[in-house]
């Protein structure tokens, strides 16, 4: 929604810049009409529908699909692979970390930076409101930031900034495989001695807003209701033998918190960091 508001503001400013009347007397009717023409009202509606659906799936996949029409349920189930086994868990994980990117011609694109996968939703409006007429998971090209020699936070931000600009065309199998790898990696980490306790302790610090001494005072400034929604979403081993756990929030999927743990029989928290992917382009 912020991007849409920014587009409206820019369109209005551009119209004002072209009008001497606006410079002398403020807003003219022609200025407001030009700004209105620059924005498709359906875009804002689709953005709202997409974000509401994304959050609903992240909260409870079965309930979210149950609120859609029969045809929509089938489209979403086929795209996300819901149902038996880990299907619903994978769908919740994917939806919780997906970030709305563009809305063009009735299609909304969401991108998950860890899975490096896209969810494409085509919307159509009828007498009952907006409904989904097509849904598909697509994948970015093979590769990604995890194999980079750069610091992982920098590598992730740069990969996001670059990949989110590429129109997705690849079949979505790679995205599903990536989701499974992250979930399996997190499970493997949590099974290590002391890892569950260490991870829970780090999450409690995030919730309480007491992370400053571990390097992330900005994180403490997030609203308490947002901090309360951060949960571990993945874990990776580091070259120094330690591990990094990723925390994500379905309310603010563009913000990722990382917790660095030292190597040892009982993992010790070394650092908490925040990655705001809204600023990823600034890190190029």
- Residue 120 sits in the same domain as residue 161: yes
- Give me the chain's average pLDDT, please: 86
Among 157, 173, 189, give the residue marking a domain's end: 173
pLDDT computed for residue 39 by the predictor: 59
- Residue 216 sits in the same domain as residue 233: yes
Summarize pLDDT for 131-170 with one digit per residue, the tens.
999 999 999 988 788 888 888 999 999 999 999 988 787 7
Among 105, 140, 173, give the residue marking a domain's end: 173
Domain span at residue 18 reads 2-37
pLDDT computed for residue 25 by the predictor: 47
- Residue 100 sits in the same domain as residue 64: yes
- Residue 230 sits in the same domain as residue 158: no
Number of domains in the chain: 3
Summarize pLDDT for 84-101 with one digit per residue, the tens.
778 999 999 999 999 999
Summarize pLDDT for 15-56 with one digit per residue, the tens.
434 444 444 445 555 555 545 444 577 899 999 999 999 999
- Residue 163 sits in the same domain as residue 263: no
- Residue 152 sits in the same domain as residue 183: no
Q: Of 230, 181, 226, nearest to 204 (Cα)?
A: 230
- Residue 85 sits in the same domain as residue 22: no
pLDDT computed for residue 262 by the predictor: 95
- Residue 189 sits in the same domain as residue 89: no
pTM, two decimals, is 0.83
- Residue 147 sits in the same domain as residue 214: no
- Residue 19 sits in the same domain as residue 55: no
């Amino acid at each position: 929604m912020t991007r849409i508001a920014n587009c409206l503001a820019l369109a209005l400013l551009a119209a004002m810049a072209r009008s001497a009347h606006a410079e002398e007397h403020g807003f003219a009717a022609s200025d407001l009409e030009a700004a209105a023409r620059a924005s498709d009202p359906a875009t804002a509606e689709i953005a709202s529908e997409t974000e509401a659906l994304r959050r609903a799936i992240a909260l409870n996949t079965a309930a979210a699909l149950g609120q859609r029409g029969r045809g929509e349920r089938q489209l979403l189930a086929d795209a996300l692979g819901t149902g038996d086994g880990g299907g619903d868990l994978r769908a919740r994980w994917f939806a919780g970390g997906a970030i709305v990117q563009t809305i063009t011609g009735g299609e909304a694109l969401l991108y998950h930076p860890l899975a490096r996968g896209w969810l494409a939703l085509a919307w159509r409006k009828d007498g009952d409101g907006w409904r989904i007429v097509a849904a598909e998971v697509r994948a970015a090209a093979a590769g990604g930031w995890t194999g980079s020699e750069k610091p992982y936070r920098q590598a992730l931000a740069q990969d996001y900034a670059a990949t989110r600009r590429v129109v997705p065309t690849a079949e979505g199998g790679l995205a599903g495989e990536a989701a499974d790898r992250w979930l399996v990696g997190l499970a493997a980490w949590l099974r290590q001695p002391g890892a569950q306790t260490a991870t829970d302790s780090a999450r409690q610090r995030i919730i309480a807003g007491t992370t400053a001494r571990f390097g992330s005072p900005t994180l403490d400034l997030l609203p308490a209701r947002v901090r309360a929604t951060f949960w571990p979403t993945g874990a990776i081993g580091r070259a120094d033998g330690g591990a990094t756990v990723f925390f994500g929030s379905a309310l603010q999927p563009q913000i990722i918190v990382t917790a660095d743990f030292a190597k040892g029989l009982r993992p010790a928290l070394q650092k908490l960091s925040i990655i705001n992917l809204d600023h990823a382009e600034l890190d190029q």
